[in-house]
Amino acid sequence: MAFASLTFSIGVHAEENKQDSTSNTDTASSTEITTYNSTQSSECYPGNEDTQSANQTTQDSAESTDTVSGSIQQSSTEESSTTEDSSDNERMAMVNKLYSSAGLSFPLGRSDIENNSTQKTFFGGMFSRASVNTGISVENTETLSKGFVDVSSHNGALTVADYKKMQEYGITGVVIKLTVYTTYINPYAKTQIENAKAAGLKVSAYHYSWFTTSEDACTEARFFANAAKSFGLDSNTVMVNDFEEPKVLGKGNHTVDSLAFANELAKQGYANVAHYASYSIFTSGLLNADTLGYSNIWVAAYPSEVSKENFYTDFTAWQWSSQLVFPNVSGTFDISVDYQGRFTISAGSNAIYRAYNPNSGEHFYTKNTYEYDNVISVGWQPENVAWLSPQIGASIYRLYNPNSGEHFYTLSLAENNYLSDIGWREEGVAFYSSSNKEVPVYRLYNPNAKGPGAHHYTTSAGERDVLVKLGWRSEGIAFYGTK
């Protein structure tokens, strides 16, 4: 998420530091954003009780480490200035530790709602993004795949010609900042979205998060969704929770709050949600990748020297630099490699959506967005895009067990016929397997399951290994997705 310079403001985020959204909307955007009522009635839920309980361990662990002294603080305007200074000093020390990984640099606090006169360079600029991968030419072939860029108001009113120039070098997607907190809307969003669509790019959107409670997360999610609807973004749009603000690190349970954000977006009609954060945020335990799902995470990590070697391949995408430059296009751009086609889906593939039933424990997979939306509407939890399926390939059959309620997916016609013979209902070809064997989809079996949910499918080797440690049996590669 691009920003002109790296800064850090001392002090908790206070209401007077937040600008009203109308003051940030100028003539660059002629779309009228519907007035947002932050007090509107809406039940906020961060997920099921089991998820909250599981993540309490993560929060307890974070509280006991030397990176966060004392208990995790909730933001409050009633805190004394002494408490605020102490809390901020602790968080500054924590952020310092998180962002000082050798050989890497990360995004660090690029909010648009801060008063610039109160900002000061964080730790003397030791994390200055300008010193990392400065001015990488898009024509440099000794780098990773250049799949998609992300832009904000700092990139200005990008033209169709600008985006077309990016396309010449393989860029097929753009993620556009829409909102920050509940008071800021990118004044260039309308132009950036319309021109990107006119150029033929896949458009996704992101929200810069400030929430420190699940209730705040839901409020911000509604603000984000409201803006997305005003800009005409449809329900299939990838909606990103950009978690990087230093002043909220260590406040609340970030995993549970992020789940609340994603669930509220789904209630607002946007179930395709991803989470963006630096790699150290996950290794520190501040965000739990296993709980959020690796296929739902866009990770940022900037190596001091770029190469063609892929890292962080368990995640859906990797932002590997903030300094890409294009000929005849002003400014620098964040650039990412898209491992699962989440942000750069080509015309030759379909997204396979995954949903979870908290009552039965079953995961459901479908390429049909209406089918996916329907199960979400009756209480299933959205888990967004699990993998991409080619439009042509080996058939993957789906069957349903009327006795247990379980769905089963197999590449084997013989297995399909056997299950059909013993009472399973055939539901035909669900999707296809890549003949190029690009992305393996692993199958696991739970020998302790008494009903639905006995089988699980995932492209994440990390998720597979966690389940095996918990007693599931690995059944190898079931079929393949595509990139």
Q: Provide the residue ranges of all domains of the chain, joining segments of one domain with +.
A: 15-338, 349-481
The two three-digit tokens of residue 102, written as one number: 């050798």
pLDDT confidence of residue 169 = 87
Q: Report the interhelical angle of 254-267 vs 214-230 (nearest 10°).
A: 40
pTM value > 0.75: no
- Rounded to the nearest angstrom, the gap between the alpha carbon of residue 36 and the centroid of all alpha carbons in its chain is 24
The ranges of the chain with pLDDT < 50 are 2-42, 46-82, 102-103, 115-133
Q: What is the pLDDT of residue 146?
A: 85
* CATH of the domain spanning 15-338: 3.20.20.80
Task: Give the per-residue pLDDT at 139.
Answer: 84
The Cα angle at residue 394 between residues 391 and 399, in degrees rounded to 5: 95
Question: CA angle at residue 214 from 208 to 215, to 5 degrees?
Answer: 95
Q: What pLDDT, on a 0 to 100 scale, did the predictor assign at position 442?
A: 97
Distance CA 253, CA 214 (A): 8
Longest dimension (CA), the chain: 73
- The candidate with the shortest Cα–Cα distance to 129, out of 148, 110, 106, is 106
- The pLDDT value given to residue 270: 94
Q: In what order do the strands lie in the sheet with 439-445?
A: 455-458, 439-445, 473-481
Residues 6+ apart with CB under 8 A from 81: none
pLDDT at residue 235 in the model? 86
- Cβ-contact 318, 339 below 8 angstroms: yes
- Other CB atoms within a 10 A radius of the CB of residue 309 amount to 7
Inter-residue contact 471 to 444 (CB < 8 Å): no
Q: How far apart are CA 375 and CA 381, in angstroms?
A: 8
What was the pLDDT predicted at 173? Answer: 93
Distances (CA, A) of 121 to 100, 232, 390: 16, 37, 47
3-class secondary structure per residue, the chain? CCCCCCCECCCCCCHHHCCCHHHHCCCCCCCCCCCCCCCCCCCCCCCCHHHHHHHHHHHHHHHHCCCCCCCCCCCCCCCCHHHHHHHHHHHHHHHHHHCCCCCEECCCCCCCCCCHHHCECHHHHCCCHHHCCCCEECCCCCCCCCCEEEECHHHCCCCHHHHHHHHCCCCCEEEEEEEECCCEECCCHHHHHHHHHHHCCEEEEEEECCCCCHHHHHHHHHHHHHHHHHCCCCCCCCEEEECCCHHHCCCCCHHHHHHHHHHHHHHCCCCCEEEEEEHHHHHCCCCCHHHHCHHHEEEECEECCCCCCCCCCCCCEEEEEEEEECCCCCCCEEEEEECCCCCCCCCCEEEEEEEECCCCCCEEEECCHHHHHHHHHCCCEEEEEEEEEECCCEEEEEEECCCCCCEEEECCHHHHHHHHHCCCEEEEEEEEECCCCCEEEEEEECCCCCCCCCEEEECCHHHHHHHHHCCCEEEEEEEEECC
Angle between the N-to-C axes of helices 160-167 and 189-199, in degrees from 0 to 180, rounded to the nearest 10: 50
- The CA-atom distances, in angstroms, between 423 and each of 191, 402, 411, 420, 426 are 55, 8, 19, 5, 9
Q: Residue 373: what residue type?
A: D
The contacts of residue 410 (CB under 8 Å, 6+ apart) are 396, 397, 399, 416, 419, 478
Predicted local confidence at residue 167, as pLDDT: 86
